[in-house]
Amino acid sequence: MTDTETKGGSDLRPDAMAYAEREGLDFIRAIVAEDLRAGKYETIVTRFPPEPNGYLHIGHAKAILLSYGIAAETGGRFNLRFDDTNPETEDVHYVQSITDSVRWLGADFGDEPLFAADYFGQMYDFAEYLVRQGLAYVDSSTDEEIREARGTVTEPGRPTRYRDRPVEENLDLFRRMRAGEFPDGAHVLRAKIDLASKNMLLRDPLIYRIRHAHHYRTGDAWCIYPLYDYAHPVEDAIEGITHSLCSLEFDNNRAVYDWVIDHWQDYVRGQGGTPARPHQYEFARGELEYTITSKRKSLQLVKGGYVSGWDDPRMATLAGLRRRGVTPEALRNFWDRMGVAKFNSRIDIGKLEFAIRDDLNTRAPRVLCVLRPLKVTITNYPEGQTEELDAPFWPHDVPKEGSRPLPFSRTVYIDRDDFMEMPSKGFHRLSPGAEVRLRYAYVIRCDHVVKDDDGQIMELRCSYDPATRGGGTPDGRQVKGTIQWVSAEHGIPCEVRLYDRLFTVPDPEAEEGDFKDHLNPDSLVVVQGAVIEPGVRDDAPGSRYQFERVGYFCSDVVESRPDALVFNRTVTLRDAWARAAEKGAAGSGPKPEKKPKAERAASEAPKPRSKAPAPDVQRSPELEARRARYAGELGLPAEEADLLSRELATSELFEAALAVGAPAKAVANWVIHELPREQGGRTTENLPFSGRELGELAALVEDGTVSVTGARQVLAEMVKNGGEPRDLVASLGLQQVSDPGALAPIVDQVLAANPAKADEYRAGKTGLLGFFVGQVMRQSGGNANPALVSQLVQERLGG
């Protein structure tokens, strides 16, 4: 076995590392690319092997998208295989849920998933082979005796009295185990490897156990079941997996994996076959803040009534995220931005929320909804009259068209939060004697406040200016505030569920005491009696919207009906937790929602102790002014403005890049997303280049001189050694090719070399577009304009 094989191929040769850097590949994709370049495999085959005993969570999405993405990018194959070797905890319900979630993510695994249980016969035959070769033995020791004999990290293991049983006796006992002669726990089958190994997993691991339990797929056909360290590599070998990707906690298991695979190859060759040689590679999981993904602890939340179920929208399960309204595209973009690393880390949940907002901004049409209705009677509007206003679904910065008729009448509802009887400084909404603009409608003025006997405000009586239809003011007067509203006559009552982060601390499992003590008591607030515009009544469950000035929402796929609409908040319009931290609001997270007639979910569950996120942003007046300018004058999203102004060095880098003339949005992307991937442990102050060079690099991308992929390579070189971006583009040979005449022959060559895949694309497998683009990019040395390549490929394939 070579060193590379021993290490799972995690180390690349210098020339391969240079290629990976040049292509902008993560270390896993770099390994795959090197294997293809070296001719090690004709087809890349990857897999995702969940055990069907629970629901998938957001961390699983990373593993699925990585394995599937590599297979799709290389024109390979991706398998969904259920590792169903534990009959006591597995169920067909989980099979269905996991299958549905993987399909929802867009990972194409063919017509049907695969099952480890279908390989039980082959696994058993191979185990008999190991026994006959003296590589496995039946151990009749108790569990405690086996544990004690394994030794410790400082002391080697020692053989039990059964380790040297004759092969014939082992084979007889193993066959009788298979026949069901023995009760659970009477015997186990162990691999005979190395009791003195420093890796304790190699000290004769268990590979079969007796379990008289009904299996959801095989029934009672088996009473012995293989363990993970044995079953996993055999399953991979049977399926011809080339790159077996798993998370870092399986790093030590790789030695057992390789032992099993090596002997599997001998076994298959002995039968005259040609064995596959899978390799295991590990990557960092990426833990998300303010969540838990532990199956055991998630089960406590479900069984304890702290959440409504596995698909509760506050859960980190894919079922929960889906019900909350998160799209698979948002998850793909999020994990793509996070990259693939070799070291575990915790990820700011704000980055996930940013990806969700970024996705929904161009996906969710705008509608009007009032959460806490306050009646407004427009006294000078004709009684009994209704008019329809043309209201666009999309703002000007979203390149989509479409509008809907919005009914307007004498009585409307506004949100109670948009009226203040004694307005504070800076309040630009409605107050006595003041004007406000009703979105898409008219400017109104509050003339009178109606209260009940207890002094509670029940109604506002206002007048409108007929000349301001559509919101303009022909006389030029300034009306600073614009608020949402709904016609009282036409609006539809609905229930709105305001979901928030499930925990009040970033890492609830690391805190003292019970993790449930840190549950956020305001993680769900149910608002009854909200009113929404009528056009959404017949939309399909799961439809997504932006409630203007409120947040992104979707209609609940489980409980919403046309006669009883229910909407789930997917994400707020801005990061309320970051704003709370900016204010240094110790002892509180985001301000709890105010709501008469609102209920807290799980009110009968044990009341968790509230503990807020620690404030982590204290800005100087200069940085606060910059944050406001970034969000206002430069038009950056609030989250980006926040990140760019948290530290002086980052802000100075951004300012210097802007001075070159590069677009603010492009520079923000390089500072926030691209630079952190490359700088490693270096601080911004110690980078060997300034904001000027970063701005020039962004400008080169914008004018088409270099592709984004090429620019990433330039940035990597800049972080290492500095340099002028334009000179580096030239010296590295990264000038982007945007000439159709130059690219067309390469496209034709790639299509001619892959006629079967071209036919599959024409037959409807359009996911192969990425394969063709990738092949052209490789042929061009990564310098082709990918958008132009995509266009040329589609033109030739009729797409």
Does the active-site annotation cover 51? yes
435-438 and 443-451 strand pairing: antiparallel
Contact 479/514 with Cβ under 8 angstroms?
no
Give catalytic status of residue 295 as yes or no.
yes
Report the C-alpha gap between 22 and 770 in whole angstroms. 19
| Given 147, 198, 295, 762, the catalytic residue | 295
By C-alpha distance, which of 278, 200, 193 is closest to 242? 278
- Looking up tokens 């949402």 gives 484
In eight-state DSSP terms, residue 506 is S
DSSP state of 364: S
Q: What does 645-706 look like in DSSP terms, one character per residue? A: TSSHHHHHHHHHHHHTT--HHHHHHIIIIIHHHHHTT--GGG-SS-HHHHHHHHHHHHTTSB
Neighbours of 547 (CB within 10 A): 23
* 480 is annotated as an active-site residue: no
Q: Kindly name the residue from 7, 21, 40, 51 that is annotated as catalytic.
A: 51
In our burial notation (b when 16+ CB lie closer than 10 A, e otherwise), range 551-590 reads bbbbbbbeebeeeebbbbbbbbbbbbbbbbbbeeeeeebb
At CB < 8 A and 24+ separation, what contacts does 764-768 make? 766/799, 767/72, 767/108, 768/75
| 354 CB-side CA count, 13 A | 22
Going by their DSSP bridges, the two strands 457-465 and 482-483 should be labelled as unpaired
What span, in angstroms and rounded, lies between the C-alpha atoms of 116 and 228?
11
3-state secondary structure string, 616-643? CCCCCHHHHHHHHHHHCCCCCCHHHHHH
CA distances from 272 to 247, 265, 268, 269 (A): 34, 11, 7, 5
**Is there a contact between 492 and 565 (Cβ–Cβ < 8 Å)?**
yes
Bridge partners (DSSP) of residue 566 are 495
Q: Between the CA of residue 179 and those of 187, 209, 224, what are the distances in Å? A: 13, 13, 9
Q: Which of 285, 569, 626, 712 is an active site residue?
A: 285
Contacts of 524 (CB under 8 A, 6+ apart): 314, 497, 498, 499, 500, 600, 601, 602
Q: Which residues form the catalytic set?
A: 51, 285, 295
